A and B are shown apart, each in its own frame.
Chain A
Amino acid sequence: MNMRSIILVVALGVFGCTKHNPDSCCSTTQECSSLGIDQITGCDSGKACNGMGTCIAAQCATSADCTSVGLPVCSSQLCVATCATDNECVGIAVRPLCAPDGVYVGCIDDASCGASAPVCDTTGRACRRCSEDIECASNVCIDATGTCATVDEVIHVSTFGGDGNDGSVSAPYRTLAFALTKVTA
Chain B
Amino acid sequence: MAGTINQDCSQFSPCSLAKALTLAHLYVVIDSGNYANAGTIVLSNGRWLIGRGTRPVLTNPMHGPIIQLNSGANVRLANLQISDATASSSLEGDGVDCQSDGQPANRSLVLDNMLFLNNSGIGVLGHTCTVAARRSAFRSNGSGGMQLADLDSTIDRCEFSSNAGYAGLYTDGGVVHITNVFAFHNAKTGIDSESDKPGNVIEFSTIVDNGGAGLVLGSPGATASNNIIARNTMGPVQCANPPCTYTGSIVSAGNDVTTLHFVSPDTQPYDYHLTAGSVAIDAAVTATLDHDFDGDARPKGGGRDVGADEAQ
Give A residues with C-beta under 8 Å from B: 133-134, 138-140, 149, 152-161, 167, 169, 172, 175-177, 179-180, 182-185
Of the candidates B29, B39, B46, B58, the one whose C-beta lies within 8 Å of that of A185 is: B46
Is the beta-carbon distance between B30 and A185 smaller than 8 angstroms?
Answer: no
Is the beta-carbon distance between B20 and A156 smaller than 8 angstroms?
Answer: no
CB distance from B203 to the nearest CB of A (A): 23
Is the beta-carbon distance between B27 and A157 smaller than 8 angstroms?
Answer: no
A158 — which chain B residues lie within 8 A by C-beta? 30-31, 33
Q: Is B270 an interface residue (CB 8 A)?
A: no
- One of B48-56, B146-154, B164-172 contacting the partner: B48-56
B30 — which chain A residues lie within 8 A by C-beta? 156-158, 176
Is the beta-carbon distance between A185 and B24 smaller than 8 angstroms?
Answer: yes
Q: Is B47 an interface residue (CB 8 A)?
A: yes
Is the beta-carbon distance between B79 and A133 smaller than 8 angstroms?
Answer: yes
Per-residue CB contact flags for chain B residues 18-37 toward chain A (1 = under 8 Å, else 0) read 00101111111111111101
CB distance from A71 to the nearest CB of B (A): 33
Q: Is B245 an interface residue (CB 8 A)?
A: no
B27 — which chain A residues lie within 8 A by C-beta? 138, 140, 149, 153-155, 183
A169 — which chain B residues lie within 8 A by C-beta? 29
Give B residues with C-beta under 8 Å from A: 20, 22-35, 37, 39, 41, 43, 45-50, 52, 58, 78-79
B37 — which chain A residues lie within 8 A by C-beta? 175-177
Q: What separation, in Å, do the CA atoms of A138 and B43 have in the docked complex?
A: 22
A140 — which chain B residues lie within 8 A by C-beta? 27, 29, 48, 50
CB distance from B236 to the nearest CB of A (A): 36
Q: Interface SS of chain B: helix, strand, loop or mixed?
A: strand
Q: What separation, in Å, do the CA atoms of A34 and B260 have in the docked complex?
A: 70
Listed by A's residue number, 28 A-B pairs whose Cβ atoms lie within 8 Å are A139-B50, A140-B29, A149-B26, A153-B24, A153-B26, A154-B25, A154-B27, A154-B29, A155-B25, A155-B27, A155-B28, A157-B28, A157-B35, A158-B30, A158-B31, A159-B33, A159-B34, A169-B29, A172-B31, A175-B35, A176-B28, A180-B28, A180-B43, A183-B25, A183-B27, A183-B28, A184-B25, A185-B47
Q: What separation, in Å, do the CA atoms of A140 and B79 have in the docked complex?
A: 11
Q: Interface SS of chain A: helix, strand, loop or mixed?
A: loop
Q: What separation, in Å, do the CA atoms of A180 and B32 have in the docked complex?
A: 17
Nearest neighbor of B49 in chain A, beta-carbon distance:
A176
Q: What separation, in Å, do the CA atoms of A157 and B20 have in the docked complex?
A: 22
Q: What separation, in Å, do the CA atoms of A92 and B34 have in the docked complex?
A: 50
CB distance from B55 to the nearest CB of A (A): 12
Q: A133-B78, A139-B50 are in contact. Are A183 and B26 (CB under 8 A)?
A: yes
Is the beta-carbon distance between B31 and A156 smaller than 8 angstroms?
Answer: yes
Nearest neighbor of B33 in chain A, beta-carbon distance:
A159
B39 — which chain A residues lie within 8 A by C-beta? 177
Of the candidates A139, A160, A172, A184, the one whose C-beta lies within 8 Å of that of B26 is: A184
CB distance from B61 to the nearest CB of A (A): 13
Is the beta-carbon distance between A154 and B28 smaller than 8 angstroms?
Answer: yes
A139 — which chain B residues lie within 8 A by C-beta? 29, 50, 52
Output the residue of B32, B47, B48 with the most chain A CB within 10 A.
B48
Is the beta-carbon distance between A156 and B24 smaller than 8 angstroms?
Answer: no
Nearest neighbor of A140 in chain B, beta-carbon distance:
B27
Q: What separation, in Å, do the CA atoms of A177 and B41 have in the docked complex?
A: 7
Nearest neighbor of A177 in chain B, beta-carbon distance:
B37
